[in-house]
């Protein structure tokens, strides 16, 4: 029996140790635990989704920086101008004295090499750039030659993050897909960084966590201007990657999570957060809930039928309880963006008389009407809710709506052609492509736009819209371009290619001792740059 006694003593000692540990509280640490979402790709040439961009803005710096009104301002580049008049050749002057995390100074060679790498790899956010040839003019000047003219080229570089050439070259893996350049450093950049951003990567376990510490030599500095006396820069960031919002709620309530930046909360969860004095909600950028109507498939192939849908939909019924969290009116672009124009239907409420009138004008006024197939992404209950609301609304017109939610791979694959796209598909479009005005217009309504889920209406028959969209990409002056966007919005809306149930602000849920963002931008990334946030350690220690 001696063994049992020994085991008993060990068990008691462990129990005492465990009890002592419970209740022991450590000092307030200068750390922020942030939820980064399912997986983050940290190679700037591979990163593409908004979760990646949020981290990119912390580890790297873009060449130009998005402004709240939708344009860009100097950042790694201090100025830029087209060379010649055809907008295919751009010259960028670079900021001097910018340091990489290694301590080495950034040069034009790094920027040009990074652009060549970005375009050659052809991944991530490089698609909208087309073919770009980069050449070094001198140590602080770089030229970019494009395959097609673009007035918005400088603005697209808000998603171009230069890397340190020599460091990446020293870590390429051979053999790889790029001949002498092996894998172009892709594998190494998945778990290391070679950037100039405000934070330096310490470790990264893809799909699990990413840790970064403050870069003291960040070129924008770390002054406390505009911040409170106890608000200091955050020293350490830990990005976790959790998609289950019940778990995230547990973490937030227990104080294990400091900031959640993807906003997938349910309504009851948002209400709980709002009611908790130790937590707060911060709204920065919104997402546009868009229901595309496939113009190539009956019965949504008829413009009057589509307009009938616009008027039959009960906007207020779905927004209702969400209104206190900012959900509301939206249109072709987000209402928070400069140059927003209200579009039909106005006022945004159900008008069955108008709906019936439009239906009577359609080719489906008499005879059997095929059912409207509405697909949403499996697991997104708010999308399903919109489908079911539409089903109830169109039933009042005697129309049938079939609502189904296939999983994302299948759902997204359906949108690869007009023939396979259901009558209606719903998407949540976050301003994740630079520049955002171009993303919500050219990329969604021009035949050379992003296609696929971004253009699942499949309508490109209005030459005037196409001409104006092309004009936006040929207009360098931002305010002039805004005027064209204003002209375009009602023109696009007149074809009823989609209906927009509401804009969905992304609520950043944070602990009360976290402050920020200092500057709010209508684009994913800049607002999640933690240089733009502070922590109040006194409040943290005192529980606010």
Partner 1 sequence: MAKYIALRLGQSIFVLFGLSLLIFFIARVVPGDPARVALGNLATEEQVQKLRAEMHLDRPFAVQYYYWLKSMLRGDLGKSLYTQRPVTTDLRQYIPATLELILFATLISLVFGQVTGVLAGYFRNSWFDNLSRLASYLGVATPSFVVAILLLFIFSQLLKLAPSVGRLPLMVKAPPTVTGFMIIDSLLAGRPDLTLLALKHLVLPAFSLAVIHIAQEGRITRSSLIENVQKDYIIAHEVHGIRPTKLVFKYLLKPSIIPTVTVMGLDFAFLMSNAFLVELVFFWPGFARYAVNAMLSKDLNAIVAVVLVIGVTFALVNLVVDTIITFLDPAIRIQRRGG
Name the minimum Å distance from CB 58 to partner 1.
17
Name the minimum Å distance from CB 250 to partner 1.
5
Name the minimum Å distance from CB 88 to partner 1.
19
Nearer to partner 1 by C-beta: 54 or 314? 54
CB atoms within 10 A of CB 206: 14
Name the minimum Å distance from CB 286 to partner 1.
18
Nearer to partner 1 by C-beta: 49 or 470? 49
Q: Is 429 helix (H, G, I), strand (E, B) or coil?
A: strand
Name the minimum Å distance from CB 35 to partner 1.
10
Nearer to partner 1 by C-beta: 186 or 528? 186
Nearer to partner 1 by C-beta: 29 or 79? 29
Name the minimum Å distance from CB 178 to partner 1.
12
Of 273, 219, 232, which Cα lies nearest the Cα of 251? 273
CB atoms within 10 A of CB 6: 10
Nearer to partner 1 by C-beta: 110 or 242? 242
Nearer to partner 1 by C-beta: 5 or 467? 5
Q: Are 136 and 108 in contact (CB under 8 A)?
A: yes
Name the minimum Å distance from CB 89 to partner 1.
23
Nearer to partner 1 by C-beta: 208 or 483? 208
Name the minimum Å distance from CB 380 to partner 1.
13
Name the minimum Å distance from CB 449 to partner 1.
11
Nearer to partner 1 by C-beta: 158 or 310? 158
Distance from CA of residue 112 to its chain's centroid? 26
Q: Which residues bind partner 1 (CB under 8 A)?
A: 14, 17-18, 21-22, 29, 31, 33, 38-39, 41, 43, 46, 48-49, 52, 122-125, 127-128, 177, 186-187, 190-191, 205-209, 238, 240, 242, 244, 246-247, 250-251, 253-254, 256-257, 406-410, 412-413, 416, 432-433, 450-454
Nearer to partner 1 by C-beta: 225 or 244? 244
Nearer to partner 1 by C-beta: 256 or 464? 256
Of 185, 205, 183, which Cα lies nearest the Cα of 195? 185
Nearer to partner 1 by C-beta: 392 or 413? 413
Nearer to partner 1 by C-beta: 182 or 345? 182
- 130-160 per-residue burial string, b: 16 or more CB within 10 A, e: under 16: eebebebeeebbbbbebeeebbbbbbbbbbb
Nearer to partner 1 by C-beta: 43 or 303? 43
Contacts of 216 (CB under 8 A, 6+ apart): 222
Name the minimum Å distance from CB 375 to partner 1.
12
- In whole angstroms, give the CA distance from residue 378 to residue 331: 25
CB atoms within 10 A of CB 424: 28
Contacts of 478 (CB under 8 A, 6+ apart): 69, 70, 71
Name the minimum Å distance from CB 183 to partner 1.
10
Q: Are 87 and 476 in contact (CB under 8 A)?
A: yes
* Angle at 528 (CA atoms; ends 525, 534), nearest 5 degrees: 150
Name the minimum Å distance from CB 8 to partner 1.
13
- In whole angstroms, give the CA distance from residue 30 to residue 261: 19
Q: Are 470 and 459 in contact (CB under 8 A)?
A: no
- In whole angstroms, give the CA distance from residue 215 to residue 101: 7
Integer angstrom CA distances of residue 107 from 211, 220, 409:
27, 17, 41
Q: Are 296 and 456 in contact (CB under 8 A)?
A: no
> Which ranges in 29-103 belong to alpha helices (H)?
50-59
Name the minimum Å distance from CB 273 to partner 1.
16
- In whole angstroms, give the CA distance from residue 544 to residue 542: 5
* 49 burial type by CB count under 10 A (0-12 exposed, 13-18 middle, 19+ buried): middle
Segment (H or E) for 440: helix 436-440
- In whole angstroms, give the CA distance from residue 146 to residue 296: 34
């Amino acid at each position: 029996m001696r063994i049992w006694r020994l085991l008993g003593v060990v068990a008691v000692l462990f129990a005492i140790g465990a009890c002592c540990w419970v209740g022991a509280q450590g000092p307030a640490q200068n750390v922020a635990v942030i939820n980064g979402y399912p997986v983050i790709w940290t190679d700037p040439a591979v990163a593409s989704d908004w979760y990646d961009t949020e981290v990119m803005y912390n580890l790297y710096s873009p060449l130009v920086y998005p402004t709240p009104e939708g344009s860009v301002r100097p950042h790694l580049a201090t100025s830029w101008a087209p060379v010649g008049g055809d907008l295919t050749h751009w010259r960028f002057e670079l900021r001097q004295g910018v340091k990489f995390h290694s301590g080495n100074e950034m040069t034009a060679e790094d920027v040009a090499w990074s652009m060549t790498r970005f375009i050659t790899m052809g991944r991530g956010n490089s698609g909208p750039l087309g073919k770009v040839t980069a050449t070094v003019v001198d140590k602080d000047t770089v030229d970019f030659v494009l395959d097609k003219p673009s007035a918005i080229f400088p603005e697209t570089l808000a998603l171009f993050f230069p890397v340190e050439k020599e460091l990446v070259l020293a870590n390429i893996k051979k053999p790889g897909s790029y001949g002498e350049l092996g894998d172009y450093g892709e594998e190494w950049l998945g778990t290391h960084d070679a950037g100039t951003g405000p934070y330096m990567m310490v470790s990264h376990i893809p799909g699990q966590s990413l840790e970064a510490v403050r870069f003291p030599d960040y070129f924008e500095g770390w002054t406390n201007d505009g911040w409170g006396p106890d608000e200091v820069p955050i020293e350490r960031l830990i990005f976790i990657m959790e998609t289950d919002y019940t778990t995230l709620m547990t973490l937030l309530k227990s104080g294990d999570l400091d900031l959640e930046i993807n906003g997938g909360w349910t309504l009851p969860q948002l209400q709980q957060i709002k009611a908790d004095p130790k937590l707060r909600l911060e709204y920065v950028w919104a997402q546009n809930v868009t229901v595309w109507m496939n113009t190539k498939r009956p019965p949504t192939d008829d413009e009057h039928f589509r307009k009938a849908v616009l008027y039959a939909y009960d906007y207020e019924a779905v927004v209702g309880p969400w209104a206190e969290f900012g959900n509301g009116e939206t249109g072709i672009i987000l209402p928070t963006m400069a140059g927003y124009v209200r579009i039909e239907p106005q006022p945004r409420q159900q008008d069955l008389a108008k709906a019936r009138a439009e239906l009577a004008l359609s080719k489906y006024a008499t005879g059997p009407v095929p059912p409207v197939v509405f697909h949403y992404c499996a697991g997104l209950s708010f999308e399903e809710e919109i489908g079911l609301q539409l089903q109830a609304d169109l039933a009042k017109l005697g129309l049938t709506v079939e609502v189904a939610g296939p999983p994302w791979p299948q759902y997204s694959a359906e949108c690869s052609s007009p023939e396979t796209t259901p009558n209606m598909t719903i998407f949540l479009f976050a301003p994740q492509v630079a520049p955002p005005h171009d993303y919500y217009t050219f990329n969604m309504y021009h035949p050379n736009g992003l296609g696929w889920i971004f253009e699942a209406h499949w309508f490109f028959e209005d030459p005037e819209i196409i001409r104006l969209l092309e004009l936006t990409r040929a207009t360098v002056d931002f305010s002039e371009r805004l005027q064209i966007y204003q002209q375009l919005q009602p023109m696009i809306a007149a074809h009823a290619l989609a209906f927009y149930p509401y804009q969905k602000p992304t609520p950043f849920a944070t602990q009360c001792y976290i402050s920020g963002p200092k500057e709010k931008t209508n684009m994913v990334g800049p607002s999640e740059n933690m240089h733009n946030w502070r922590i109040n350690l006194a409040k943290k220690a005192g529980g606010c």
